[in-house]
A = this chain, B = another copy of it.
Amino acid sequence: MRAIVIRGPGGPEVLELRDVPAPTPSRGEVRVRVRATAINRADLLQRMGLYPAPPGDPPDIPGLELAGEVDALGGGVQDLAIGDRVFGLVGGGAYAEQVVVHERALARIPHGMGFEQAAAVPEAAVTAYDAMVVQAGLSAGDTLLVHAVGSGVGTMAVQIARAIGATSIGTARSAAKLERARALGLAHGVLPEAGAFADRVLALTAGRGADVILDLVGGSYVAEDARCAAVLGRILVVGLVGGRAANVDLSLVLRRRLRVLGTALRGRPLEEKIAAGQLLARRIAPLLASGAVAPVVDRVLSLDQAALGHEALHAADTFGKIVLVP
């Protein structure tokens, strides 16, 4: 099969389309003919040698999500059959024509949704839903603050918040992204000035602060998050494009009883990967089927254009996901 292989740590130029052996499904696993995958920031870090693949996943083929058709079954597979249309998360290897996944970690693609749309869903929607709803308990009536609202996760977070009755405030690097996020249900857009946004969020919440903060930026944003979190507010650290050093005022954390939760999907063990697949099937697919949540695709590239996609995501001039089609 053809796959994008990381030749060695480096820039987008190290991504190389090669012929590699197709993987074989073991007990409980299926092989999926990948019809579309999508790019994540973790792929860029992996390519640069900064975020090695988890043990047991392909070390040199990136790709954390996929949509496609089941094309081979391992022993003991019960719920899936050849030809089933599925999507889901993997620990790596999805920049390829075929990938092997435990059947219970996959979900069925809703009727009427194409592969390119479906491939834009798993990482963004599961990250947002798992962080905001499962871990932080976001509920109707809550206020959500989302940073990088134009990212894949951000565009999903705004729609999921609207679907469950929460109000969202978002930040982004440009007014244009905030404007596009409004169409997804964003109630208030805030353009940070010199990295500051807490005063604006406090003003928008009558001084109460945000109940849940989905932070895809990290770095100095976390100290600002603590300044504008409500009592018992949950700050979810999902990404670190703004850096890894946080200088937080612990007296705010203590007095407001804040919770700072780090989260990442990629390195989770099998039972949690399966839980993520079930979440995709039972919580997210119904929202897609009803139209309450729709994937946001910035552009579709062919698999051999993966390097171009990495450049675009690095430049952060995207809105939603970059999809790759093998």
Contacts and interface: CB of A to CB of B under 8 A. Distances in A.
Interface residues on A, range: 20 to 34
Contacts of A243: 250
A280 to B, nearest CB: 19
A205 interface: no
Interface string A257-284: 1111111100100000000000000000
A132 interface: no
A247 interface: yes
A218 B247 CA distance: 13
A246 B248 contact: yes
Nearest to A50: B251
Contacts of A263: 254, 257
Interface in A221-267: 222, 237-240, 243-264, 267
Q: Which of A239, A246, A267 has the most CB of B within 10 A?
A: A246
B257 A251 contact: no
Interface core residue of A256, A262, A264 (most chain B CB under 10 Å): A262
Nearest to A261: B259
A88 interface: no
A238 B257 CA distance: 9
Contact of A262 (B218, B240, B253): B253
A256 B251 contact: no
A219 interface: yes
B254 A250 contact: no
Interface string A304-324: 000000000000000000000
A197 to B, nearest CB: 18
A255 B257 CA distance: 23
A248 B246 CA distance: 5
A250 B261 contact: no
Given A259-B259, A259-B261, 12 more contacts: A237-B250, A237-B253, A237-B254, A240-B250, A243-B250, A244-B250, A244-B251, A245-B250, A246-B246, A248-B248, A253-B260, A254-B262
A45 to B, nearest CB: 10
Contact of A264 (B222, B240, B257): B257
Interface string A84-103: 00000000000000000000
Contacts of A251: 240, 244
A137 B250 CA distance: 22
A252 B264 CA distance: 11
Listed from nearest, the 6 A-B pairs whose CB atoms lie closest are: A253-B262, A260-B260, A254-B262, A244-B251, A244-B250, A258-B262
A149 to B, nearest CB: 19
A218 B248 CA distance: 11
Interface string A116-127: 000000000000
Contacts of A260: 253, 259-261
A247 B247 contact: yes
Among A239, A243, A254, A263, max chain B CB count under 10 A is at A254
